[in-house]
Structure 1
Amino acid sequence: MFVKSYYDLSSYADTFKNSLDKQKVKVLICAGTGCVASGSLKLYNEFVRLVKENGILCDVDLLKEEEGISVKKSGCHGFCEAGPLVRIEPYNYLYLRVKLEDCEDIFNSTILKGEPIERLMYKDSDKIYKTQEEIPFYQKQTRLVLENCGHMDAENIQEYIGRGGYMALSKVLSSNAMEPKEVCKLIQDSGLKGRGGGGYLAGKKWSQVLSQDNPTKYVVCNGDEGDPGAFMDRSIMEGDPHKIIEGMIIAGYATGAHSGYIYVRAEYPLAVERLKIAINQAEGVGLLGKNILNSGFDFDLRINKGAGAFVCGEGSALTASIEGERGMPRVKPPRTVEQGLFGCPTVLNNVETFANVPLIINIGADEYKKYGTKDSPGTKAFALTGNVVNTGLIEVPMGTTIRQVIFDIGGGIPDGKKFKAVQIGGPSGGCLTFDEKHLDIPLSFDSLKKVGAMIGSGGMVVMNEDTCMVEVARFFMNFTQRESCGKCIPCREGTKRMLEILEKIINGSGTLEDLSLLKEIADTVKNTSLCGLGKTAANPILSTLEYFYDEYLAHVVDKKCPSKQCTELMVLKIDEELCKGCSKCARNCPVNAITGKVKEPYIIDTAKCIKCGACIEACAFKAIKEV
């Protein structure tokens, strides 16, 4: 197969679609990182063995319209809480937490007979949800960017083309080709904002690069996803790599760039592997390289693996890393659109931004703006993690409220606990309290900024009533301080000082003066740091100080942690009425802080106690409590 023109691509698309339609049963095993870690590749091998041993055609070539049962390694299905996941089409059954011993039952009952296996399906109270689309986790989503993830072979360009892939590129480069200015205008008219966190209009950035006189320009995709708990970009790269490539080629044509780089952290080996496969496939069929679709336009693409520095998510630090320099931000202007990679004008967008481009080209700006809000059109992918029933990868229209995400899609807080806060935007984001005005805040760039938070790349960590918000601020500050490149004094020294104060508060030696100093340093770091890492590093502190100041006061004044999470502030006491004098607590204490006589209540010497919790675990009568 070699695609020479729009007509070739259209013909191949029809052929591949017909072939996909003729596949009698499709077995889609989630082969995203999460499910792979849970053993999904063993399931894949077992299904292939079962199909072949029964004499059924398994490896179905889409260039040949053959009937058979296709067994595929798909990208992330999103419902990570319930992996490994297996989807069976055309029935759309979704099986959860599938084990190796379940494969034969699935083969005999579902693959051969179409019968559902209810014990492997999603249950809510007494209701069983047979199809994936019925499950509330999926039903409440709008999956545009993630449309193909979990629904096709992530390593097969034929399937991508059969599902309409590269048709947006052909629309741009066909005989009735769009002018570069038209493409930039279309993207700008769509209102697409950068999904990496900055929220800058993608089309405006493209137009700025197009207007530069330098004949050498670059397109760079930021796949350096470093936020704790975030995995949106990784899942798109693993599950639908051709969509990113197609978006980047279009960006290259629109801006006059002929070379592109995908910057991916080395900790994402599966994403790197899938991208390499996709690039080789696209080059092999003529959709990357010289004279794409006989249009005269050339574009090549390379992968650059980063070493995992969080600061390399910042544009100038990222381009410096690609150049072989230490990843550190520089003073601006000039901006990346003027002097980016190798000193040339550069389009720099993140994975999700480029993945939106083919859709916009295909449906048009007006249709795209029907999703989301007026100021933030389209959808946004979020990694929903933490104290929530249904964790995983989701995609919702911009403007969806936090309440809808946590309680409708996420299923609420497990174990009957109360919701306390949500951290949005990773280390750069803010913590929002449980409040009607916050739960019903629409998820958009502008609305979150007004309350001291940000969408960021899309990490969303839910916290329950047992969470200590001072410790949360310390955790994120510890991360940011370690990831600071050290180039500018406010970030290098400020993050260190803030971390020291937070550790002092958690250890029980904090003062009211420390709270005032913490706020002062946070404001200084936010207003004077060089790059986005420093400017947003204090957000978790500033937001928790605003919404959870009582917890800080409890740590500083009362020397107690309301959530009972800070061990240094724990004071353990034995309840005399519950203690049976068994001496088990004393025998398990590593520092001999517990004394007493057998069959009489024991006593804890609080001066010696190191709050390790060994006595609590040892006591069968629950007589040891924190006071």
Structure 2
Amino acid sequence: AGFIGKNCCDTGYGFDVFVHRGAGAYICGEETALIESIEGKQGKPRLKPPFPADIGLFGCPTTVNNIETIASAPAICKRGAKWYSSFGRERNHGTKLYCISGHVVNPCTVEEEMSIPLKELIERHCGGVIGGWDNLMAIIPGGSSVPMIPKDICETVLMDYDALVAVQTGLGTAAVIVMNKEVDIVKCIARLSHFYRHESCGQCTPCREGTKWLNSVMWRFVKGQAKSSEIDSLWEISKQIEAHTICALGDAAAWPVQGLIRHFRPEIEHRISDYHAKNANKEPPRTIRDFA
């Protein structure tokens, strides 16, 4: 049809498409790490500035877009920005691809307008929570990198940027992870901590060292072997990682742990006290301070 290749659409310009297959590293979701990988280097984020728009792929000005952004462009060009802005609410216009997984009757990916209530999104497109809405424990609304929110917040929250920031989480990738009361909520976050430890590129000290601590202590929480004081210590560690790294992977590792402590601290405390009650006559477990 003449849309790609030499002299595309008789414009006199060439439009070539090259497909590069990545190795699957999570860190390459960051735009400059992606550029580094395409150039044949290790996938590690660059310091910015300079930004890719000035010095990007092979030193050339580069625009990096998510495929969802590109997929939205034809409809906006065809129907106009005013039509697209009619979806959602002020400052949160347009549509979004919501990928809903976990304990729902029908997991799916669906395009919906911004600002749809979270509860309505799940019940309309997924058939509801397995075991019913009252069986809901928590939801991660924007992919594994954002803090979870408990059932009482999920009742009324809207799925847009401003509404989710207001309840101390985020829209992120809009990958909604639903967890009902059958889940081991502490173990779920420990699994995420293990993932982020594995995916850290190791370039920034707070992320490289901090993700090890998050992973180690979270698994102690799972077993109940920690002390209650370590909950506050882990919170402080997460705060030392957050906003102290070149890219947002440090934040992504810290926020799930913060969400767990913020909303489900009693669950951690119960697990610790239960373990100590059963092992009162045994040697006490080491704490974070023992490793300092």
Scaled by the length of structure 1, the TM-score of the pair is 0.43
**What code does the residue aligned with 1:390 have?**
N
TM-superposed CA distance for 1:293, in Å, is 1.4
> Which of the numbers 107, 110, 126 marks the counterpart of 1:410?
126
TM-superposed CA distance for 1:306, in Å, is 0.4
Alignment partner of 1:430: what SS? coil
Counterpart of 2:109?
393
> Which of the numbers 289, 295, 304 marks the counterpart of 2:11?
295
Contact 1:494/1:521 (CA < 8 Å) preserved in 2? yes
More displaced stretch, 489-498 vs 416-425: 416-425
In the alignment, the residues of structure 1 paired with residue 143 and residue 231 of structure 2 have an alpha-carbon distance, to the nearest angstrom, of 23
Alignment of 1:153-164 (within 5 A): none
Matched, 1:492 2:173: no
> Which of the numbers 78, 86, 90 marks the counterpart of 1:370?
86
TM-superposed CA distance for 1:533, in Å, is 1.0
> Which of the numbers 419, 423, 434 marks the counterpart of 2:140?
423
Matched, 1:528 2:244: yes
Counterpart of 1:540?
256
**What code does the residue aligned with 1:447 have?**
A
Matched, 1:334 2:50: yes
In the alignment, the residues of structure 1 paired with residue 187 and residue 45 of structure 2 have an alpha-carbon distance, to the nearest angstrom, of 29
In the alignment, the residues of structure 2 paired with residue 470 and residue 310 of structure 1 have an alpha-carbon distance, to the nearest angstrom, of 23
Alignment partner of 2:96: what SS? strand
C-alpha distance after superposition, 1:43-64 (max 9, x if no partner): xxxxxxxxxxxxxxxxxxxxxx
Counterpart of 1:556?
272
Alignment partner of 1:442: what SS? coil
Matched, 1:514 2:230: yes
**What code does the residue aligned with 2:149 have?**
L
In the alignment, the residues of structure 2 paired with residue 353 and residue 556 of structure 1 have an alpha-carbon distance, to the nearest angstrom, of 45
Ranges in structure 2 where 5+ consecutive residues have no aligned partner: 283-292
Counterpart of 1:347?
63
**What code does the residue aligned with 1:292 have?**
C
In the alignment, the residues of structure 2 paired with residue 389 and residue 333 of structure 1 have an alpha-carbon distance, to the nearest angstrom, of 46
Q: CA RMSD in A?
A: 1.9
Alignment partner of 2:137: what SS? strand
Counterpart of 1:482?
198
Contact 2:54/2:61 (CA < 8 Å) preserved in 1? yes
Counterpart of 1:432?
149
Scaled by the length of structure 2, the TM-score of the pair is 0.90
In the alignment, the residues of structure 1 paired with residue 92 and residue 191 of structure 2 have an alpha-carbon distance, to the nearest angstrom, of 31
In the alignment, the residues of structure 1 paired with residue 224 and residue 34 of structure 2 have an alpha-carbon distance, to the nearest angstrom, of 40
Counterpart of 1:356?
72
Matched, 1:473 2:169: no
Alignment partner of 2:249: what SS? helix
Larger radius of gyration: 1
**What code does the residue aligned with 1:441 have?**
V
| Shift in alpha-carbon separation, 1:409–1:475, aligned structure 2, 3 A | same
Alignment partner of 1:360: what SS? helix
Counterpart of 2:288?
none
Contact 1:452/1:539 (CA < 8 Å) preserved in 2? no
Contact 1:331/1:530 (CA < 8 Å) preserved in 2? yes
C-alpha distance after superposition, 1:138-183 (max 9, x if no partner): xxxxxxxxxxxxxxxxxxxxxxxxxxxxxxxxxxxxxxxxxxxxxx
**What code does the residue aligned with 2:61 have?**
P
TM-superposed CA distance for 1:558, in Å, is 2.9
In the alignment, the residues of structure 2 paired with residue 335 and residue 363 of structure 1 have an alpha-carbon distance, to the nearest angstrom, of 32
**What code does the residue aligned with 1:497 have?**
W
TM-superposed CA distance for 1:407, in Å, is 2.2
Contact 1:510/1:555 (CA < 8 Å) preserved in 2? no
In the alignment, the residues of structure 2 paired with residue 507 and residue 551 of structure 1 have an alpha-carbon distance, to the nearest angstrom, of 12
| Shift in alpha-carbon separation, 1:514–1:355, aligned structure 2, 3 A | same
In the alignment, the residues of structure 1 paired with residue 181 and residue 261 of structure 2 have an alpha-carbon distance, to the nearest angstrom, of 17
Alignment partner of 1:346: what SS? coil
TM-superposed CA distance for 1:408, in Å, is 2.6
C-alpha distance after superposition, 1:256-281 (max 9, x if no partner): xxxxxxxxxxxxxxxxxxxxxxxxxx
Contact 2:118/2:155 (CA < 8 Å) preserved in 1? yes
In the alignment, the residues of structure 1 paired with residue 117 and residue 275 of structure 2 have an alpha-carbon distance, to the nearest angstrom, of 36
Contact 2:224/2:274 (CA < 8 Å) preserved in 1? no
Poorly superposed stretches of 4+, deviation over 4 Å: none
In the alignment, the residues of structure 2 paired with residue 570 and residue 316 of structure 1 have an alpha-carbon distance, to the nearest angstrom, of 50
TM-superposed CA distance for 1:450, in Å, is 2.7
Counterpart of 2:285?
none
**What code does the residue aligned with 2:17 have?**
L
Alignment partner of 2:18: what SS? strand
TM-superposed CA distance for 1:340, in Å, is 1.5
Ranges in structure 1 where 5+ consecutive residues have no aligned partner: 1-284, 561-568, 572-606, 608-627
Question: Sequence identity, in percent?
Answer: 34
Give the length in aligned residue pairs.
279
Matched, 1:456 2:169: no
TM-superposed CA distance for 1:570, in Å, is 9.8
Alignment of 1:208-223 (within 5 A): none
In the alignment, the residues of structure 1 paired with residue 193 and residue 108 of structure 2 have an alpha-carbon distance, to the nearest angstrom, of 25
| Shift in alpha-carbon separation, 1:288–1:480, aligned structure 2, 3 A | same
In the alignment, the residues of structure 1 paired with residue 143 and residue 86 of structure 2 have an alpha-carbon distance, to the nearest angstrom, of 28
In the alignment, the residues of structure 2 paired with residue 497 and residue 365 of structure 1 have an alpha-carbon distance, to the nearest angstrom, of 47
